[in-house]
Structure 1
Amino acid sequence: MNRLFCIFSLFLLHTSICQAQFDQYKGDYFLFQDAKTRKTIVIEHDSLYQIDSQDRLYRLKHTNYPEIISRYNTFKIKGKNYFAHNGCGPVLEWRNDSLVRIDNSFLHQNQYGAASFVYKNEFYYFGGYGLFTFKNLLTKYIFKSREWMAVQTFGDELPSLRRDANRILIGDYLYIFGGLVENPDNFYYGEGLSDSNVWKLDLKKMKWNKEGVFDSKYNSLDGYFNFQNGKKTYLLSRGANNKLLEIDIEANTIKKYILPSLINVKSFYFDEKSNDLVVLHLLSTTNQIKVIHIPLNTITKTPISSEAFIINPLKKLYTFLFIGCSLLLVSFVFLKTKVKTVISDYNSLIFDTTKNQLRYKRKNIGSIDDNELKIISFLVDNQTKFIALNTLNELFEQDELSENYTSTIKRRENTLNNLITKLSLITGYKENEILDYRKNPDDKRVKEIKLKENIIRIK
């Protein structure tokens, strides 16, 4: 009898130990896509896993890691799967059929609810909650040292402390908006942000800037799963409202869609190649799980609403001010130019080529004779360059008269001197302010002349 009792006791002890060992890894369901095979992996209670919804279950091999796998964020980098604890610290790698811990860190418990993303083959956490405080710090995992480090960021102003923020990564720019902050009346759960700023981080310069303000009715977006497809981000409802939101920062739109059926999402991932949303759906009636593949384009055919996402009154104000100032500046320059032109027209000598008439202060000058007008016309046509003085002789040569060269030069000089004297008396300019004289650079015997710049304007 005692022997039977001992055997039965040993059996109960062994069963308890086995059950305790199993309970140690009794976690939730967890879904991810194998980066190498692209097959769907479902981990059950941190002890078994299933491939592509097949009936067969495999024993999950793993090294020790803190807590349960459903509390880890998943990343795909260079054809490998990595998992980082959502409180930051421990990092795991999926190797064929095993979870292997690869970090030298510890369980930080400092960034729960951080916005996570991959940039240049490294994964980052922004913000989060831990050690009784909300955060706005940026951290990244260093594969070489197998440790985490804080990344310093800059800017005239930084995003406020928050957790569960939404993020969009486009090229070298990270956009952050929404999330939860500390709630004095409900310390454990937090509350929605009071501001609706969309922040933009230049990941090359690590500099923050405000991109704009989004509609405050979208402040409470913490009840959604976040995933990205190309340059668009999608927010999948966690609750019963059965909605999918699509935010396109570049087009500045937010669209709302209805899912084809009610889905109770336990875990999910987005397959970029097949463009499918792969969801681990919990059947509430039987408490069983089911993997569902939903082509994204079947959901996003017809939105039930579409509107601008960023509404930035400051930017609009700055735009209006800029346009207003530009118009004032253009008007000022135009008026100044117009007034200057009018003044210039009023004080300048104007030569009307069509009427062969010289004017000053909008009045015709009647004292200029035909020979003087010939010189004015010739000088105006060549006012951009020096001309030899003796070229004016051609204007005074008379074919019908047998005038010698000396007479022609004398008549030219008298006419030119009389013209300069008249223009000086009419305008008040000195004679040397009307004409420029010089000797030809190549032949010093040749004398050259040119009208001063803008002394006579052409109409």
Structure 2
Amino acid sequence: MFTCLQSEDLFAQDIPLPENLPDEYLFGQNQKSDPKIITKKGVYLFKNKWSYSDYEKIYPNTFILENLNEFNNQNFNVINDSLSTLIIISGGGHVFSSTKKSIKRLDSSVDQKNQFYSSLFLYNNQSYMYGGYGFWTFKDYITTFDKSTGQWELVSIKSDYVPEGRWKAISHVMNDKLYVLGGRNSPKESANKDVPLNDFFYFDFLNSKFVNLGETNQLIPTVNSVNSNVIINEKKAYLDNDKIIIFDFIKDTVTSYVSKNIFEGIDLKNPVVNRQDTLYYIKNVNNNKLLARFPINDLNQIKPKTYSISSKKELPYKSYFAVTLAALLCWISYRLFTFKDHLKGLVLFDERRLYFNQNSSLVTEKQLLLIQHLEKKSFISSSELNTIISSKKYVKSHFTLLRTEFIEEINIILKSVTDNKRDLIEEIKDPLDKRYKVYKINAQISKREPFLSFLFKI
């Protein structure tokens, strides 16, 4: 689904490229993120308008540029260190340094043609390349440019896990790690050529090790890099005609903003510059190249879609957990059924109340003592009941009256709670000695217990 932005507003952001601009140039930025165009003879810088500076000095060793491929962002990569803009030939080898004052060659290497479409990045103010393609093989190593020797050197890797070689990978450096996602290669075991990869990993510079982060989410909009990329709020973003895709490797998310012709005419061969929250990029309109501007806040007009970068595959322990959980739920259901069956017909009690089904009633401390006794023995003798009723010594006839009143009161409570018309506690002759009377309860009685304690009772 596309969201349309007003084309006249976007077109108003377009700026003509400098007059008399030669056909061969590189687009990039300076250390202050101002867009600039590098030519073999000087530098154009854009702030509020274009300004031009001839090189004060062109070192003789840069004349080799005349014998190399066309001077553009396809054949050369631009990257800024702390002092200058480095111009690195695609595939590795020659390295040049460009400032407002001069252009000079830094390397003593050759046109290596060994790491085309590698991931070029700066770490600790030093240039690196990961992967790439050259001489019919995809590279799985990292090289770094040694300024002291002018040569590209292999980075030592102390890792059992080494991802397969690739080119055109999505990558970003942060927190002493090079994050890499996807890219393309031609698997040896397959007849397919230049197929997309679906892995995700990082290289830890502090430990010199690759760390596997698993497979990528199949819903990710892209796993291939293009030159039209930029850093936005420390996240790597890739632009296309109708979308911008932003990778947050720390949070493991990728966010896609799609709107028809949002970056209409963008030249995917050139990088993108982020200056003061505005994106600058080269666009082509009717064979006329322009510098386009896009305020990043305009993305708020578009509803984004966010995906996880890594594939959330179910781990083996999750299956065991699911089986255990299912068994536990079955056990709980069974115990709940038996618990309800257990409660049927029971008169329950706790420290303050009697319960039967949904009914309950308060009881006194002495009534509770009688209930607790009847739970254990189902009957109580007259002398035992006398002890509960009073600690005083009365004549036999008075105790008989007190017992009668006491039993009547608790029977009233039991009838109310159980909706029963007959007395549940009655006076009978002692089965063991007919000379004495006892008080028997004609109901099952039990102390109330929580379901959780019943659940795990064996």
Whether these two folds match at TM > 0.5 is yes
Structure 1's 38 and 191: CA in aligned 2 closer, same or farther, altered over 3 A? closer
* Alpha-carbon distance, 1:221 to partner: 3.3
Q: Number of aligned residue pairs: give it.
A: 291
Q: Does 1:41 align with 2:45?
A: no
* Alpha-carbon distance, 1:104 to partner: 1.3
Q: Does 1:279 align with 2:274?
A: no
Residue 20 of structure 1 corresponds to which residue in structure 2? none
Name the SS for the 2:148 alignment partner. Answer: coil
Name the SS for the 2:213 alignment partner. Answer: strand
Residue 217 of structure 2 corresponds to which residue in structure 1? 215
Structure 2 residue identity aligned to 1:40: P
Identical positions, percent: 19
Residue 233 of structure 1 corresponds to which residue in structure 2? 236
- 8 Å CA contact 1:268–1:278 kept in 2: the answer is no
Looking at structure 1, the residues matched to 89 and 103 of structure 2 have their Cα atoms a distance apart, in angstroms, of: 13
- Deviations for 1:364-416, whole angstroms, at most 9, x for unmatched residues? xxxxxxxxxxxxxxxxxxxxxxxxxxxxxxxxxxxxxxxxxxxxxxxxxxxxx
Looking at structure 2, the residues matched to 150 and 158 of structure 1 have their Cα atoms a distance apart, in angstroms, of: 14
User: Structure 1-normalised TM-score?
Assistant: 0.56
Looking at structure 1, the residues matched to 41 and 243 of structure 2 have their Cα atoms a distance apart, in angstroms, of: 33
Name the SS for the 2:298 alignment partner. Answer: helix
Structure 1's 324 and 261: CA in aligned 2 closer, same or farther, altered over 3 A? closer
Structure 2 residue identity aligned to 1:256: S
- Deviations for 1:159-208, whole angstroms, at most 9, x for unmatched residues? 11111111021211111111121279x99x95223x41101111111101
Structure 1's 128 and 300: CA in aligned 2 closer, same or farther, altered over 3 A? farther
Residue 264 of structure 2 corresponds to which residue in structure 1? 262
Looking at structure 1, the residues matched to 232 and 106 of structure 2 have their Cα atoms a distance apart, in angstroms, of: 29
Moved over 6 A (4+): 321-327
- 8 Å CA contact 1:277–1:295 kept in 2: the answer is yes
Structure 2 residue identity aligned to 1:41: K
Residue 106 of structure 2 corresponds to which residue in structure 1? 102
Counting only pairs closer than 5 Å after superposition, residues 173-322 of structure 1 correspond to structure 2 as: 173-182=177-186, 190-193=193-196, 195-218=197-220, 220-222=222-224, 224=226, 225-237=228-240, 240=241, 242-258=242-258, 260-265=262-267, 266-271=269-274, 274-283=276-285, 285=286, 287-299=287-299, 302-313=302-313, 316-317=314-315, 320=318
Looking at structure 2, the residues matched to 323 and 171 of structure 1 have their Cα atoms a distance apart, in angstroms, of: 35
Larger displacement relative to structure 2 (70-79 or 47-56): 47-56
Which sections of structure 1, spanning at least 5 residues, go unmatched? 1-24, 328-459
Q: What root-mean-square deviation, in Å, do the aligned CA atoms of Structure 1 and Structure 2 show?
A: 3.4
Residue 51 of structure 1 corresponds to which residue in structure 2? 45
- 8 Å CA contact 2:281–2:293 kept in 1: the answer is yes
Structure 1's 301 and 122: CA in aligned 2 closer, same or farther, altered over 3 A? farther
- Deviations for 1:27-48, whole angstroms, at most 9, x for unmatched residues? 544211122x65422246x456
User: Structure 2-normalised TM-score?
Assistant: 0.56
Residue 175 of structure 2 corresponds to which residue in structure 1? 171
- 8 Å CA contact 1:26–1:47 kept in 2: the answer is no
Counting only pairs closer than 5 Å after superposition, residues 54-453 of structure 1 correspond to structure 2 as: 54=49, 62=58, 63-64=62-63, 65=65, 66-70=68-72, 71-182=75-186, 190-193=193-196, 195-218=197-220, 220-222=222-224, 224=226, 225-237=228-240, 240=241, 242-258=242-258, 260-265=262-267, 266-271=269-274, 274-283=276-285, 285=286, 287-299=287-299, 302-313=302-313, 316-317=314-315, 320=318
Q: Which has the higher contact order (CA 8 A, sep 6+)?
A: 2
